[in-house]
Structure 1
Amino acid sequence: MSRHLYLDHANTQLALDGRSLTVKVPERPVAHVPLHLLERVTIVADIEVSTRLLHRLSSAGITITLLSPRSKSQATECLTPIHGNHGRRLQQYALVLDDARCLTWARLLVRWKVKAQRHQLLRFAARRGAEAGRCRRAERELALLQKQVSDADAQQLLGLEGSAARAYFGVFQRLVPASLGFSGRRKRPAPDPVNALLSLTYSMLTSECSRALQLAGLDPAYGVYHRVGYGRPSLACDLVELVRPQADHFVWRLVARQDLRAHHFTRQLGACLLKKEGRGIYFPCYEVRLAPCRRHIHRLARRLCQRWEQEG
C-alpha cells in the first residue's frame, strides 16, 4: 500500500476529521485517509488547505511537497519536525567546515556516482542490441574517468563529473525515441519531454533525500560536494547523485515503452511540461517502479549518519 498521497485536482479541499485526512475532490466521493498511514503528501494543483492542517501533518511526521502547476523542475518542502539528536548535526557542521574531509567525501560521492552510471550503461548494453557497442565504449570511458577521481581536487571533480555526464547522456540520447527531441541533458527550462521527466524525477527524489536525511538526524542544507548555497538542500543534492542513474532508467522505461508520449506534454514560456493526463500516468509509475530506489535512499542516509558518527 502506498503511503504517498498525490493531489493533482484543482479545488480539492483538505480537512481534518479526527485522526484522518478528508479529501474532497469535485464530482468525486469524499475520501478519508488515516494519518498514521501517510508518510508524504505531494500537492501539484491549487487546493484549499488550512495552516492548522499543515501544522498537524508536519507534527505527525508527514512531509508535504509542493510542486508548482506551471513548473515541475523545483519542489518546496514542508519538512517534519527536526530530529532530537542535535549532536549528529554538530558533527555534520564540523565536517562541512573541514575542507580536507569534505574533499575526501566529495571524491567518494563522485566515484560512487560514476560507478552507478557505468552499471546503468551495462544494463542498457544488455537490452539494446543495436547500441550495445556504444554503451560498452562509454562504460570504458567512464571507468578511466573514475580512476582519476582519487587524486582530483574540488575543481577537477566538477570537470570529471561533467565529462562523465556528457559521455553517459551521449549514449542515453540514442536510447530514447528520436521523436521526443532529446539531444542531451538540459534544464531550467527543460526543452523536451525527456528532460522534463528527468528534471521532475530528480526533484521528487531530492525531496525524498531531504526527508530521509532529516529523519536520520542530519541537516539537508549542508553538503560536502554541493557546498552551502542559498535556498539549496546541498546534502540532499549530494545524496541524490547516487541514485540518478536509477532515475534515468525509470525515465527511459516510461518513454521506451511509450507509457508517456509527446501528446502528454505541453509548452509554456519555453518550457516543456507534463500535462494532467501525463501526470496521472507518471505518479503511479513513480510510486511503484522507484519504491526500491526510495528505500535505498533511506538506507544511504542512515549509513551516512553512522559513518559520520564513527568519524566523530
Structure 2
Amino acid sequence: MNCLYLDRKNLEIRLDGQALALYEDGARKGSVPLHLLERVVMRGNVQLESRVLGALSARNIGLLVLSGRYSEATAMLAGRSHNESSRRLGQYRVCLDNNLRAPLAHWLVLVKIRAQKRMLREALPMRADLRHALTVAVQRLDNIMNRLKTDSDMRSLSSLRGFEGAAASAYFSGLTQLFAPSLNFTGRKKRPAPDPVNACLSLGYTLLHNDAVYASHIAGLDTMLGFYHDISFGRESLACDLMEPLRPLIDRWVWWLFRDRTLRIEHFSDDNGRCLLNKAGRKHFYGCYEANSGPARRLLKRYSHALAKRCQLIHDGE
C-alpha cells in the first residue's frame, strides 16, 4: 500500500501505536501500519485525532483533504522538508531572474508537448477511424516543437506560454475525438466541470498536484515559487510547473477508464450543471489512480531532485 483513501461518512481515525486505527460509527473496522504509507487522502467529514497529524508529519506521510462536495483540495500536509536551506535560496534567485527561469521553462514546454504527441500517437493504432484528426493534431504539435527547438527568439516566458497554448489547442482537438460523443467532452473546462471527462480530469489533476507538492517539499523547495508559472496569491506555482509535463499521463489514464468502461455514465450525477463523480465512481477512480500513479510519482521525484540540485549549485555559485 502506498496511499490510503478515506471516503466514507462517520469515519474516525485514531493513532494506535505505529498504525492508524479506523473507526466507523464508533466501531473499529481495521488498522493500517504507518510504515506502509506515503500519502493519505481524505474526502468529506472524516474525523481524526490531533496525534494523527503529528505521526504523519514525523514520518513524512503526505495528507490531502478534499472537499466533500466538489473533490477539490482544501488542505494539505506535506511532511518535513529537506534540511538543506541553500536549495531554497538558489530557488529564490531563479524565481527572480528571467534569464535563469527561461531555460527551465523552455525544457518544461518541450517535454509537455512531447508527452502530448506521444499520447496521440499511442491512440492511433487503436482508433483507425480517427487517423486523420489525430495525424493532423500530431503534425501541428511537431511544427510547434520544431520552432521551439530551432528559434532562440521563442524562448522568452511570454512566447513560451503562447506556444504552450497553441499546443494545447492542437492536442485537445485530437484528444476530444477519443471519447464517446455521449460524454459531451468538447474541451477542457474546469469550474464547474460540465461533463464526466472533465470531472475526472479535474480530480486526477488535483491528486497529481498534491503529489507534486509532496515531491517538491520533500526535496527542500518552496512549492509557492515556480519558474514557469508566475507568483500568484495562494497558488503553489512550483507544483503547477512540475505537473505540467505529466498531465498527458492523466489524460491517457482517464481515456482508458472510459474506453474500458471502468467508468460509465451511471457513475456520475448532475448538480445544477456541475458533473459529479458519485461514491461508486470514486471507488473505481481512486483504485485505478493508485494502480497507475507510480510512473508520474517517480518522475515528480526525479524532477524535484534535479531542480533542487540545480538551485543549490546556483546558490553556491557554480
Same fold (TM over 0.5): yes
Counterpart of 1:251?
254
Q: Is the 8 A contact 2:65 2:75 kept in 1?
A: yes
Q: Is the 8 A contact 2:21 2:28 kept in 1?
A: no
Q: Is 1:151 matched up with 2:153?
A: yes
Q: Is 1:41 matched up with 2:43?
A: no
Q: Is 1:205 matched up with 2:208?
A: yes
Paired-residue identity, %: 38
1:283 Cα deviation after fit: 0.4
Counterpart of 1:164?
167
Q: CA 1:130–1:206 in 2, change beyond 3 Å: closer, same or farther?
A: same
One-letter amino acid of the counterpart of residue 195, structure 2: D
The secondary structure found in structure 2 opposite 1:64 is strand
One-letter amino acid of the counterpart of residue 239, structure 2: A
One-letter amino acid of the counterpart of residue 69, structure 2: R
Q: Once structures 1 and 2 are overlaid, which stretch shifts more, 163-172 or 70-79?
A: 70-79
Counterpart of 2:311?
308
Q: Is the 8 A contact 2:66 2:75 kept in 1?
A: yes
1:169 Cα deviation after fit: 0.8
Q: Deviations over 1:159-199 (max 9, x none)?
A: 21111111111111110111111011111111110001111
In the TM superposition, what are the counterparts of 1:1-312 in structure 2 within 5 Å?
Answer: 2-26=1-25, 30-74=29-73, 76-149=75-148, 150-152=152-154, 153-312=156-315
Q: CA 1:193–1:40 in 2, change beyond 3 Å: closer, same or farther?
A: same
Q: Which runs of at least 4 in structure 1 moved beyond 6 Å after TM superposition? A: none
Q: Deviations over 1:123-171 (max 9, x none)?
A: 1112211112321221110111123334222222222111111111111
The secondary structure found in structure 2 opposite 1:48 is strand
Tell me, which stretches of 5 or more residues in structure 2 are unaligned?
A: none
Q: Once structures 1 and 2 are overlaid, which stretch shifts more, 284-293 or 237-246?
A: 284-293
Tell me, which stretches of 5 or more residues in structure 1 are unaligned?
A: none
The secondary structure found in structure 1 opposite 2:225 is coil
One-letter amino acid of the counterpart of residue 215, structure 1: I
Q: Is the 8 A contact 1:8 1:44 kept in 2?
A: yes
| Distance in 2 separating the partners of 1:218 and 1:78 | 15
| Distance in 2 separating the partners of 1:67 and 1:132 | 39
| Distance in 2 separating the partners of 1:154 and 1:118 | 22
| Distance in 2 separating the partners of 1:58 and 1:267 | 37
Q: CA 1:169–1:97 in 2, change beyond 3 Å: closer, same or farther?
A: same
1:29 Cα deviation after fit: 5.5
Q: Which structure carries more relative contact order (alpha carbon 8 Å, separation 6+)?
A: 2
Q: Is the 8 A contact 1:75 1:203 kept in 2?
A: no
Q: Is the 8 A contact 1:44 1:68 kept in 2?
A: yes
The secondary structure found in structure 1 opposite 2:270 is strand
Q: Kindly report the root-mean-square deviation, in angstroms, between the aligned alpha carbons of the 2 structures.
A: 1.6
| Distance in 1 separating the partners of 2:13 and 2:208 | 25
1:21 Cα deviation after fit: 0.8
1:259 Cα deviation after fit: 0.6
| Distance in 2 separating the partners of 1:220 and 1:269 | 34
1:98 Cα deviation after fit: 0.6
State the number of aligned residues.
311
1:304 Cα deviation after fit: 2.2
